[in-house]
Chain A
Amino acid sequence: MVILLFGLGLFHLWSLWIYQLGIEDLLGTTREEQLAEHLVAVKRVVAALPDTEREQTAHALSTATMEIHWSPRSLINPTEAESRRITLVRRRLRELVPELADKQVRLAFADEGVLRERSDDDAFHHLLLVSVQLPDGSWLNFSVSTLRLASAPDHSVLGSLTAMALGILLVSVFLVRSVTAPLRSLATAADRIGIDAASPDVPQAGPREVRLAATAFNRMQARIKRLIDDRTQTLAAVSHDLKTPITRLRLRAHFVQDEELRQTIESDLDEMEAMIQSTLDFLRGDSTGEEIRTVDIGTIIETVCDHLVDSGHDVVLHAGTHAPLSCRPLAIKRAFSNLVENAVKYGTRARVSLAKKADALIVSIDDDGPGIPPAELDRVFDPFYRLEASRSRETGGTGLGLTVARSTIRAHGGDVALANRDGGGLSVTVTLPVFAHLPRGGNTS
């Protein structure tokens, strides 16, 4: 785009320059012819006059651009080496008026030192001096300002050329845009694919090549989506099918006589079940068919905390806040359950509070654990990511709890923020907008 504009601009300047040269050339030729004719005519007239009338007549024959005087001697001293400019003028004169033999004509520009005055002025540079010898040896001195005509450029021509160039520029900008816009949307779509696997197809618009690229891109996207879906379904099916053998194992475990062994088998089964459940939660993602309902979020958080208290965990809830929220209740409950469970798992005890703001609900979950190294604060949300300390067997977990919690809360228009508190311990802040627009889906029985 930039290259194109630069090229067009350069081309425009170049053609303007060529055009200007052409005009100057034409004007120059015309002026040389006039000068030559005039020289010859004045020479003949003055030569035919007596000496006393010569100066007066010569002066009277001056024109707007040419001053003529008669004098017994030449204004120009004869020079050995003529400048290149003079040679060119002399050659032109000789072509036009052969009767002006070289010896009879002396030529010089005013700035070439023939006058004993300051000669570096622009005016002198353009002042051509011509001395023509009459048959009796006296001289006619012409001084011609060479560029007066040529230095009046044609503004209208320049204007129309520039207007045309601007027109071309506008049209090409428009054309370039119409070609590149579909390319740009293709690039945006390609960028989005990593973030959102369900991104819509790229529109097939624009020139043929771009349309072909868009079609190929859409086909590729469909293939990737199918691949992801296949894998997701496989994983979900495996997780799901594991439920039957676990059911059998649970029943079998009941027949184990050794009480201690039975309890360890049952706790292993609990762990397996939790892993399968969180994997299924993760795979289900936002596509859950759960109905959207208005729920008192305060009671959901109370249920979550009470459940953990009943399982022997240290959870303190600043309860009694009631706040209706339009949401998918089971998903939200699971999200808070994951967050508070994490707090008691890694931070020994959890303090949970709910605050109502004008347009959002703020849920804070503080724990007394070691916190999270600042560099890892964002990574803990990655699927299957676990801090080094949590890889031990006793804490267990699949590394999906935070991932599921955040994606659920984000699907509700909110967000989860983690921060290490000054006094130690991690602080999890959940923000949920009260009036979030939730895409409807699933059944509404």
Chain B
Amino acid sequence: MDAEAHILVVDDDSQVRQLIGRFLRESGYRITGARDGREMRETIASADIDLIILDLMLPGTSGLDLCRELRITSSVPIIMLTAKGEDTDRIVGLEVGADDYLPKPFNPRELLARIRAVLRRASARHPGEPAPRGRLITFGGWTLDTLRREVTSEDGVVVDLSGGEYDVLIAFVEHPNRILSRDQLLELARNRASNAFDRSIDVQISRIRRKLESGGTSSPLIKTVRGAGYIFLPTVKRC
């Protein structure tokens, strides 16, 4: 179904717009370009758009304001692009409702991976159903913040996780108390599209355990099921 998706690229740099368009067309997408908010609105009004790639710095209305504006009426997936690359920008971008965020300059393959992941997640939802808004998820004394992509302990100490570790952890958190095979985990983590798939799932899981389980008092989180895969033990609550 990816192949038919219609992507709107909003960037004021015409060359970047054309290059992204050419690159994504090669991957089988339909592409329309827009140079600012006005053109974006016109395109949305006249065509069905499956995903918007939105630059943060635009002449006139900024990408952040456009994103906020879009979210009032639509749940169309949005990937934000920015040259700022600050972590605070990422959080602000996600807070106004973007589905993902990519700092410039980005690797084209990573953009493609994220587009695929975001589209897959969007199609997994029933049509018309809004994206899950529960930002905080708790399990076994830990709190996971889906916007900041971070985990904090009960006394508020942040645990630093790599992108790949976070993706594996969120796959577990979204499917607790179920045996997940390595392939299933890899598939779920790919949906999040972080750039570190190259390490085996086993290595990622051992790193998560080292960071979250060796705290002493906390009980084991992930149990190995011989020959089958892994199971996430704690009770998960979304709030």
Contacts and interface: CB of A to CB of B under 8 A. Distances in A.
Given A302-B210, A320-B210, A324-B157, A250 B105 contact: yes
Given A310-B196, A310-B198, A443-B88, A303 B161 contact: yes
8 contacts: A247-B104, A247-B105, A251-B19, A251-B108, A303-B160, A303-B162, A322-B214, A324-B157
B12 to A, nearest CB: 10
A244 B85 CA distance: 12
B160 to A, nearest CB: 4
B214 A290 contact: no
Interface string B200-239: 0000000100110011000000000000000000000000
Interface residues of B, number: 37
Given A252-B19, A296-B157, 13 more contacts: A244-B16, A246-B105, A247-B16, A247-B104, A247-B105, A251-B20, A251-B23, A254-B23, A254-B109, A277-B85, A296-B160, A303-B160, A333-B160
A324 B158 CA distance: 8
Interface in B25-84: 83
Contacts of A324: 155, 157
A240 interface: yes
A297 B153 CA distance: 13
A307 B210 CA distance: 15
A252 B104 CA distance: 14
Query: 5 tightest A-B contacts by CB?
Result: A251-B19, A247-B105, A246-B105, A299-B160, A243-B83
Contacts of B83: 240, 243-244, 247
Contacts of A273: 105
B160 A255 contact: no
Contacts of B15: 248
Contacts of A269: 105
Contact of B160 (A243, A300, A310): A300
Contacts of A306: 162, 207
B15 to A, nearest CB: 5
Interface in A397-445: 442-443, 445
Interface string A322-354: 101000011001000000000000000000000
Contacts of A302: 160, 207, 210-211
B208 to A, nearest CB: 10
A120 B124 CA distance: 127
A330 B150 CA distance: 13
A243 B207 contact: no
B87 interface: yes
Given A310-B199, A445-B91, A294 B158 contact: yes
B157 A295 contact: yes
A223 interface: no
Nearest to A276: B105
A129 B116 CA distance: 131
Nearest to A323: B157
A249 B23 CA distance: 12
Interface in A288-314: 289-291, 293-296, 299-300, 302-303, 306-307, 310
Interface string A136-173: 00000000000000000000000000000000000000
A3 B20 CA distance: 78
Interface in B114-146: none
Interface string A271-282: 001000100000
A251 B16 contact: yes
A319 interface: yes
B210 A330 contact: no
Contact of A294 (B23, B107, B157): B157
Nearest to B12: A244
Nearest to B147: A445
Interface string B158-188: 1111100100000000000000000000000
Contacts of B161: 299, 303
B13 interface: yes
Interface string A250-276: 111011000000000000010001000
Interface in A38-87: none
B160 A295 contact: yes
- Name, among B105, B106, B207, B215, the residue most crowded by chain A CB atoms within 10 Å (CB to CB): B105
Contacts of A255: 22-23
B104 A244 contact: yes
A322 B217 CA distance: 12
B108 A254 contact: yes
A247 B106 contact: yes
Interface in A78-127: none
Contacts of B162: 303, 306-307
A267 to B, nearest CB: 12
A277 B83 CA distance: 11
A329 B88 CA distance: 12
A289 B89 CA distance: 11
- Name, among A251, A302, A303, the residue most crowded by chain B CB atoms within 10 Å (CB to CB): A251
A293 B107 CA distance: 30
A300 B150 CA distance: 12
B214 A320 contact: yes
A243 B16 CA distance: 11
A442 B210 CA distance: 32
B158 A296 contact: yes
